[in-house]
Structure 1
Amino acid sequence: MKSGKAVGPDDIPEEVWKCLGEAAVEFLASLFNRVLESERMPEEWRRSVLVPIFKNKGDVQSCSNYRGIKLMSHTMKVWERVVEARLRKVVEICEQQYGFMPRKSTTDAIFALRILMEKYRDGQRELHCVFVDFEKAYDRVPREELWYCMRKSGVAEKYVRVVQDMYERSRTVVRCAAGQTEEFKVEVGLHQGSALSPFLFAIVMDQLSEEVRQESPWTMMFADDIVICSESREQVEENLERWRFALERRGMKVSRSKTEYMCVNEREGSGTVRLQGEEVKKVQEFKYLGSTVQSNGECGKEVKKRLQAGWNGWRKVSGVLCDQKISATIKGKVYRTVVRPAMLYGLETVSLRKRQESELEVAELKMLRFSSGVTRLDRIRNEYIRGTAHVGHLGDKVREARLRWFGHVQRRESEYIGRRMLDMELPGSRMSAASTHGRSLGPYPSQSRRYCSYDCTHLEFRRDCT
């Protein structure tokens, strides 16, 4: 567990257990064995503090735009991790689930979706995508449904009872600017902020979607973020209705207002998608797992989002970066730790133009000049500013990240979603026609292949360097 986390109602930070070392291991092992044998955890662990956090979108006065995070006992979180490790050994989650699964990340799902859209644009064929959103997904999971899904997934009855005990008689208070509310019971949904909840939710989604999900990339799930793809509008509409029926009959709720539809290579008269008679909002861009995808294949909106995220990160640490008493080396470390990751997120899956790389580098130099306390009127070269902060060119970092991801995909097994997307050929596409006539264009879409080749040349890499 990471240090510096907010404490729960017991006011015991997790650093206490780290400082105690071997003595803590022996004590916790003895405690957890007693909890497992008795199937009863300490009553203090049932209490929590609920902190509402604004989602940074929508009306700040609307409760639906807040996410509730529970501050729980750190000792209980250690116990939850022990239980989670045991459950992962016996439960097999479907390959369409990318959330909180080993060897899977948001980048895998983003990359697969971008390449799929690029393939269909290259083949000049329609691709219909529906991004399904739930209403309070974690908070709506019925407890009885959770126990049923755990048993159906092969979880031993003893561990089902252990998890049931975690949710029995749970109580919480809401902490806000005005103070704390009265304590009340929590009788539905999963614990937000729990170490075990993400895997429990994956078990529930795995069982509820068993009859309706298709193989990746036609169905991809990241916890409660679901994307459904199809070659026809009628088919994607039918699949959406099947998903709605499968989920809502078991207590979940598909949001009519936040579920969105996007079409690649849209032709005239393509129409719209409806869900129970209601028209699903049609968009030209969608923020999928934090990365903006556009139906026309451009990435200008994503670059603007990365710039905005970088400036937001810079403002959070501007007190350090603009303090003239702090050395440039320390400022560079803070910048590389906080600001640059926000600007680089997801860009390993994006083919940037030189103009867009320049926009990122210009913004970065503005931040570095602000941090150094110099302006362009001081006539100090950019290379000197980068050198004092030990910060390299952002464009080179983007290319390195893109090639690192390229090597990662190449080293993965042939069943890996990224490899399958790169090797996929659409009947009637330019690449398929070239292969039919004996001309090989390679396994990569034209745009991705061109940018990878440029990156290798720019950084003096060869394909066998991966």
Structure 2
Amino acid sequence: MEIHFRTKKGITPVSHIHVVGRRSTHLQRTARRAANAVNGIFFPSHPPHKAVRFSKGIKRQNTELSIILLSTFRPQDNNESAVTSGLVAHSYSPLDAPFNRTELLAALRNTPYGEAHGPDEVHSEALRHISSKGLRFLLRCINHSWTTGTIPAEWRRATIVPLLKPGKSPKLLEPYRSICLTSIVSKVAEKMVLKRLLWVWTPHPHQHAYRSMLTTTTQLAHLIHEVEHNRNDYFQVNLPKKSGIGNQLHYRPHRTLSVLVDFGKAFDYMERRVLSRLLANIPGVNCRRWLRNFLCGRYAKARVGNRHSDRCPMLRGVPQGSVLGPYLFSLYAHPLLNLLNSFAGVTADMYADDLSIIVKGQSREDAIPTANMVLEKLHAWSRENGLAINPSKCEAAWFTLSTHTESDHDREGKWPLEVAGCKIPVMTMGASRTTKLLGMDLDPRLTLNVAATKQCVATS
């Protein structure tokens, strides 16, 4: 079989495909142009939408990351290495390395549509549809903030919107929960910093919030596990016989005392000096400096309807509604969980700021002193770290299967359960009221029949 190439002088037969010289170069250029044309149709280099002008949102008065630094932030090259070049030399550890494009895209994918914007009025939809050029510019801005520790003023401003808790009276101030609306761009940067922080730190094993695969259900399951474990752990007791002659050996299961502690506005009253001391244990200069500066110099104003209050400084606590706020509180309460779980026969669990203490005991005389000792340590720790216990919302419950429940009732008040100088009501067998843990009604036998009945009534 012969392959012919047609030329101006005629047809030249060849037995092999052998193309050299100028004709080969011309064919390669033609093929390359055709391939580029096809790629331009199916894989456009730039999206057809309009790029977001981040410089407009950053240009503010008294802003560290101002438009003056635009020449420094604007990327001159199209590759990612050019965006992060010049910053790698200042890294002290892998934790301090500049962020890359993959980390930024992961943070943008986790930004939901329709999220309420902050004072900078940059919407999440704009960031989700950002162009390639805007993506490089945003990455350079975040890396500059990360390596220098400079937090833009817009990222430290918040709008507080009061939200009424379900089933509460709107005429009172206590039932309102304050939600801080912060910058969406700041939340994207916080997600990237949080990923780095979780490289070297994880929440406490007894903290059931802000951890993957753990929910309120796991904390309830842990309580049921502890109660059932104590029920199956028997101890010996000698009781007098009915005849009155001699004693008889009996086996009784251990009782479980659960104390539910409520902190008043825990996120708002955290001491930043204590949190700064805890952040000193985190490796990486950039991470520590960025987290400390993130909490400093914050301002907020309240919004009710279309009315706004004056701007006020936030000198304590962490902003609710931010990405890092809950994790910083978990870091703040980490030593507390270590302290409470160090006592024998005591287990402490938390879901966010809701604390539950489980005390194992043979009787009321055995468990109540242990619980009071733990609550005294808790009160001392709270005063040292700026948190306030709300005694009016604290409650306790006995869980047992024994028919001899009269010993649980302290009718004479000889064995009170106290915290911060106030008595805590204790639910016992036969009580008309129940104790709620994370919205779940708990009965003394822990059958969960009351909770199931209420759920059936609510859904019928």
Per the normalisation by structure 1, the TM-score is: 0.62
Find 2:311's aligned residue among 147, 160, 183: 183
1:148-297 aligned within 5 A: 148-152=277-281, 154-177=282-305, 179-214=307-342, 218-231=347-360, 232-265=367-400, 267-270=405-408, 271=410, 272-283=416-427, 285-297=434-446
1:290-309 aligned within 5 A: 290-307=439-456
Contact 1:191 1:197 in 2 (8 A): yes
DSSP-derived class of the 1:227 partner: strand
- CA shift in 2, pair 1:145/1:57, >3 Å: farther
**Counterpart AA for 1:220:** D
**For 1:259-309, what per-residue CA distance to the aligned partner results, in whole angstroms no more than 9, with x for missing partners?**
111111283243341124421122453322233322232323312443466
Contact 1:219 1:228 in 2 (8 A): yes
1:111-150 aligned within 5 A: 111-121=221-231, 124-150=253-279
**Counterpart AA for 2:371:** V
User: 1:119: how far off?
Assistant: 4.2
Identity of matched residues, %: 24
DSSP-derived class of the 1:45 partner: helix
More strand by percentage? 2
Displaced runs of 4 or more, over 6 A? none
User: 1:76: how far off?
Assistant: 0.2
Tell me the distance in 2 between the aligned counterparts of 1:75 and 1:277.
46
Contact 1:260 1:280 in 2 (8 A): yes
Per the normalisation by structure 2, the TM-score is: 0.63
Tell me the distance in 2 between the aligned counterparts of 1:275 and 1:217.
16
User: 1:93: how far off?
Assistant: 3.3
Tell me the distance in 2 between the aligned counterparts of 1:146 and 1:57.
34
User: 1:208: how far off?
Assistant: 3.8
Structure 1: stretches of 5+ with no match in the other structure: 311-362, 364-466
Structure 2: stretches of 5+ with no match in the other structure: 1-110, 234-252, 361-366, 411-415, 428-432
Aligned to 1:36: 146
User: 1:233: how far off?
Assistant: 2.0
- CA shift in 2, pair 1:9/1:305, >3 Å: farther
Tell me the distance in 2 between the aligned counterparts of 1:145 and 1:7.
30
Tell me the distance in 1 between the aligned counterparts of 2:453 and 2:313.
44
User: 1:101: how far off?
Assistant: 1.6
Measured on the aligned residues, the alpha-carbon RMSD in Å equals 2.3
**For 1:376-402, what per-residue CA distance to the aligned partner results, in whole angstroms no more than 9, with x for missing partners?**
xxxxxxxxxxxxxxxxxxxxxxxxxxx
Structure with the greater alpha carbon radius of gyration: 2
**Counterpart AA for 1:281:** P
1:374-413 aligned within 5 A: none
Tell me the distance in 2 between the aligned counterparts of 1:195 and 1:307.
35
- CA shift in 2, pair 1:53/1:92, >3 Å: same
**Counterpart AA for 2:422:** E
Aligned to 1:453: none
- CA shift in 2, pair 1:225/1:21, >3 Å: farther
Tell me the distance in 2 between the aligned counterparts of 1:247 and 1:239.
12
1:104 counterpart = 2:214: yes
DSSP-derived class of the 1:140 partner: coil
**For 1:26-64, what per-residue CA distance to the aligned partner results, in whole angstroms no more than 9, with x for missing partners?**
232211111112211222222211001112254432222
DSSP-derived class of the 1:139 partner: coil
- CA shift in 2, pair 1:301/1:178, >3 Å: farther
